[in-house]
Chains A and B, each alone.
Chain A
């Protein structure tokens, strides 16, 4: 079946502009995660959604970052007033359910490479 998809694959923006990154999880997966991968920082957790529960935002680096998940499926990560240090690859992952430890393997999308000039 189809995997996790993300769009756009690449985004170049100017400092100070807002960007939106999209993630389509695997159909039927109730848990959705955002991470970012940058040189020197490795892979960092940003936020995750589980069903209709309030999202865990503990990994968001600043209040310029926000995310929403509509209808329990597609998610959008928004970065306002982008800064050069926001340049990274933003990865989305989904899993069947974080509560079922036998099946909570996370499957990753190809990522969105964000470059802030």
Chain B
């Protein structure tokens, strides 16, 4: 069965700090990988996705993620966070015959102004 692990439950950073949120998945076949973000009081929004091709994908608001197949990882990065990045971030995967997404538990990011 597929599973997704997000290593950090809560990350607290100051503005302009660099961000890296870890995500590992377990599945041996071809997968699609996603990062979703949920800002306070808002619904889930797609941040970026990887289906195939260049393993370094760029999303909205300066975020990027790198798919490393050998490590089963899809870590999210941003070189300089802003207060407005305060949100909860979810890594998700689907693959094989499964259309539904398997989500990680989420990482809450708090950015101090």
**Size range of the chain A interface in the assembly:** 20 to 34
How would you classify the secondary structure of chain A's contact residues: helix, strand, loop or mixed? Answer: strand
With A104-B32, A105-B46, A109-B43 already in contact, the answer to whether A42 and B100 are too (CB < 8 A) is no
Give the complex CA separation of A101 and B93 in angstroms.
Answer: 12
Closest residue of chain A to B100 (Cβ to Cβ) is: A45
Least CB distance from A106 to B in Å reads: 6
- Which residues in chain A, 1-57, are within 8 Å of chain B measured between CB atoms? 31, 33, 35, 42-45, 48, 50, 56
Q: Which of A35, A42, A98, A105 contacts B106 (CB 8 A)?
A: A42
Q: Which of B34, B42, B90, B100 contacts A105 (CB 8 A)?
A: B34
- Which residues in chain B, 8-58, are within 8 Å of chain A measured between CB atoms? 32, 34, 36, 42-46, 49, 51-52
CB <8 Å contact, B43 and A59: no
CB <8 Å contact, B49 and A45: no
CB <8 Å contact, B99 and A104: yes
**The 4 nearest A-B residue pairs measured at CB:** A98-B99, A43-B103, A108-B44, A45-B100
Give residues in A with beta carbon < 8 Å to B: 31, 33, 35, 42-45, 48, 50, 56, 59, 91, 93, 95, 98, 101-102, 104-111
Give residues in B with beta carbon < 8 Å to A: 32, 34, 36, 42-46, 49, 51-52, 90, 92, 94, 99-106
16 A-B pairs whose Cβ atoms sit less than 8 Å apart in the complex = A31-B99, A33-B100, A33-B101, A43-B92, A43-B101, A43-B106, A45-B102, A56-B99, A93-B44, A102-B51, A104-B32, A104-B99, A106-B101, A107-B46, A108-B44, A109-B43
